[in-house]
Amino acid sequence: MSKVEEIAAAVENGKVKKVAGLVEEALAEGISATEILNVGMIGAMGVVGEKFKNNEIFVPEMLIAARAMKKGVEVLTPALKEAGSEPVGKLILGTVAGDLHDIGKNLVGMMIEGAGFNVIDLGVDVPADKFIECMKENPDCKIVALSALLTTTMPAIKNTIDAIVAAGLRDTVKIMIGGAPVTQAFADEVGADGYSEDAASAAELAKKLLAEVNG
């Protein structure tokens, strides 16, 4: 097994204590930081996401894999900066106004980070204005992800999208939505660009939307 494969296995299996050391060893062997990140970590998180979607693993295993990746990235960051490596993209995430639920939103954030994105998490009960303010502060951000767990707060997704349109920012971003009561039909109705039903699919969707933006 190559060192990068060892890193991938350690991330996949949530070996939090091992990953940092393996990354140091890989760098010492002269393996590029970009390869370690893309193959050893983002690739491993892709496998984790697939297993999660198929109910082969569950939330704790996904969380521990994300934690393992985070440990590895901490060691890798200086080398990535030195190599001029950038996150694949930037994404703004939040649970919409009136809704305090964060579990699904946090899992989505973790998996999207695992896919190589820089995620700006605005938290829960986020008013439309705050999303817009953050978009203005981050003009390089191409995706906004909105979450709602309640049927009663689903309208706040539409309100947020309407506010983004009214602010003249709709053409600058792709908008993805999710949450227990959210469906593709609802996404179509409120003018979102995409919907996903779980955290792993959300990471895939973010990559797909970014590819569309980047042409």
Residues contributing to the site for another protein (CB under 8 A)? 14, 55, 57-61, 63-64, 67, 98-104, 106, 123-124, 150, 152-153, 180, 197-198
Q: Nearest approach, Cβ of 62 to another protein (angstroms)? A: 9
Nearer to another protein, 35 or 198 (CB): 198
Name residues whose C-beta falls within 8 Å of residue 205's C-beta, 6 or more positions apart in sequence.
Answer: 176, 194, 195, 196
Q: How far is the CB of 29 from another protein (least distance, A)?
A: 29
Closest to another protein by CB, 123 vs 139, is: 123
In the complex, minimum distance from the CB of residue 211 to another protein, in angstroms, rounded to a whole number? 26
Tokens of 101: 């639920």
In terms of CB distance, is 43 or 153 closer to another protein?
153
Residues across the chain: 215
Cβ proximity to another protein, 14 vs 43, nearer residue? 14
Q: What is the DSSP string of 140-170?
A: T--EEEEE--STTTHHHHHHHHHHHHHTT-G
How far apart CA 193 and CA 52 sit, in angstroms, is: 24
Locate the DSSP E strands across the chain.
89-95, 117-121, 143-147, 174-178, 194-195
Question: Taking the complex as a whole, how short is the minimal distance between the CB of residue 33 and another protein, in angstroms?
Answer: 27
